[in-house]
Structure 1
Amino acid sequence: MEKSFRQWKKQCLNKLDQSKKGSVDRDIEHVVSLLNSREEFFTTSSCSGRTILIDGMSGLRRANGDAVLKFEPAVLHVQCRRLEDAQLLHSVAVNSGFRNSGLTVGKMGKIISAVRSTHGLEVPLTHNGKLLVDHQYIHFLTQTANQKMEENLKRIHRFYQNLQSALSAEKLPISDQLGSLELQHPQKMPEGEKEESNKNVYTRRRRRLHETDPNDEECNGSQPELGDCLSLFT
């Protein structure tokens, strides 16, 4: 599977860009570069978001069918080497605001993580060539679409930052990861409470030792009981 993944990645990244634009969107290019620089990921498609509207009111009036104003948020499809890698990416996406993200596994074992959001917009403007709304409403829709695009770009930036942090933490040993978490979320206890807490733990442990049957071989070992271990964390 490792060999197949490397082959898939090489073939995908060496292909010409088949999109109409012919290049990666500038607002998501840094995310694509980060993912493709990692050995466990590569992107198969990307879009930083877009607003689609027929150009001008005269164009709307000449429309023969149903004209629609659409805002489509950012979308990113990433092939992952292992399921664990896909789960990491999915967690980062959801925590960054991309609530519609998901995973798929193909018949050949290809694992695809889709990074998608839910704040799209789709509003009909004409029906059978007849304009349904006035200028004021179209102006309101345009402002709404622009606000959604601003939020969309914020989510892309948040996703990039969270992804960097997650990938950096993945390289650290478990002890270092726990240490970094403690630094980010310190829990201070007043000295008086700390001393009282230590006394209570010691008292509970001593009481348990006195209650233990000395003839019981399972209780004479050097390993503490489960209750003693749990008391250390209370």
Structure 2
Amino acid sequence: MAAFARRKAQRLARADASRKGALDERVAPVVQLLNGRARFCTTSSCSGRLVLAQGSPASTNGWEIQKKNCSWLMVTHETCVKDAVMTALEKATGDVVLKFEPFVLHVLCQELQDAQLLHSVAVDSGFRNSGITVGRGGKIMMAVRSTHCLEVPLSQNGKMMVSEGYIDFLIHVANQKMEENARRIDRFHKRLELALNAGTNSPCPEEQGRRQAVYVRRRKRKTIPEQDVHTSPEDPSGEMEPEDDVESNLDIFAEIMI
């Protein structure tokens, strides 16, 4: 579609608005793979990061740190060592939280079937919090997300609230999550490449069969109770009329989001 091609060109021509100002090295192959296809356009991404985020003193909102009032004492897209964390904590004057944020990727898709393909690959690769949204103007966005996050408060008003031994433990846990995050990205990249190189934007036959089976089961659940009711004389066969295409599409879409 010409409209999608124009939108993609405009999007990719924009300057990188992230703090880093460039793609994370680990996620670059995935972004380049998708943007090399006419039907996809990446809009934002992060390969995953460990952050020491400092916000204003805790308020009635508890430990929630508002992004606009947040500063980073430390950020890394790789595993970290205890010395780096302790050095960063020495600068703390407010409320500090240690956060691990996993890989996230947002992709604009030309058609719903393109988003379905990405969703299937993402979920199979371990990113089970992924989903599809459709805007009012028909804009189809696919978000690749995971659930293995970490967020732990460490200090209040610059005063440490946990022991050094506990910080050591948190770093170990966060590094494990970062390593698992890297494995999932690699898995996603390999499976996405295979799916795209298959020469189709449709799900693989096994996945297509599974979705069709789910659709048939949903149809049966809807039609069986109605078939038990008296059939009209004009329809002695008792067969139900096919549902309209819009309702059928919604059934399939709902299954994809589960």
Q: Same fold (TM over 0.5)?
A: yes
Which one of 141, 153, 156 corresponds to residue 182 of structure 2?
153
Q: Is the 8 A contact 2:113 2:202 kept in 1?
A: no
Change (3 A) 1:128 1:74: same
Q: Give a deviation string over 1:163-201, Cα, whole Å, max 9, x none.
A: 111112244999xx76xxxxxxxxxxxxxxxxxxxxxxx
% identical equivalent positions? 57
| Pair member with larger Rg | 1
Q: Distance in 2 between matches of 1:153 and 1:118?
A: 14
Letter in 1 for 2:195: A
- Equivalent pairs counted in the alignment come to 176
Change (3 A) 1:21 1:39: same
2:72 paired with 1:72: no
Q: For residue 126 of structure 2, what is the aligned residue in structure 1?
A: 97
Change (3 A) 1:135 1:106: same
Q: CA deviation at 1:19?
A: 1.2
Q: Distance in 2 between matches of 1:48 and 1:122?
A: 17
Unaligned runs of 5+ residues in structure 1 are 179-234
Q: Is the 8 A contact 2:114 2:201 kept in 1?
A: no
TM-score with structure 1 length normalisation? 0.69
Q: CA deviation at 1:40?
A: 0.7
In proportion to residue count, which structure has more helix? 1
CA RMSD of the aligned region, Å? 2.3
Change (3 A) 1:56 1:156: closer
Q: CA deviation at 1:81?
A: 0.2
Q: Give a deviation string over 1:6-53, Cα, whole Å, max 9, x none.
A: 111000111111111111110010000000000110100011000012
2:139 paired with 1:140: no
State the SS of the aligned residue for 1:114: strand
Alignment of 1:45-194 (within 5 A): 45-53=44-52, 54=73, 56-57=85-86, 60=89, 63-171=92-200
TM-score with structure 2 length normalisation? 0.63
Q: For residue 42 of structure 1, what is the aligned residue in structure 2?
A: 41
State the SS of the aligned residue for 1:45: strand
Change (3 A) 1:173 1:3: closer
Unaligned runs of 5+ residues in structure 2 are 53-72, 74-83, 206-258
* Moved segments of 4+, more than 6 Å: none
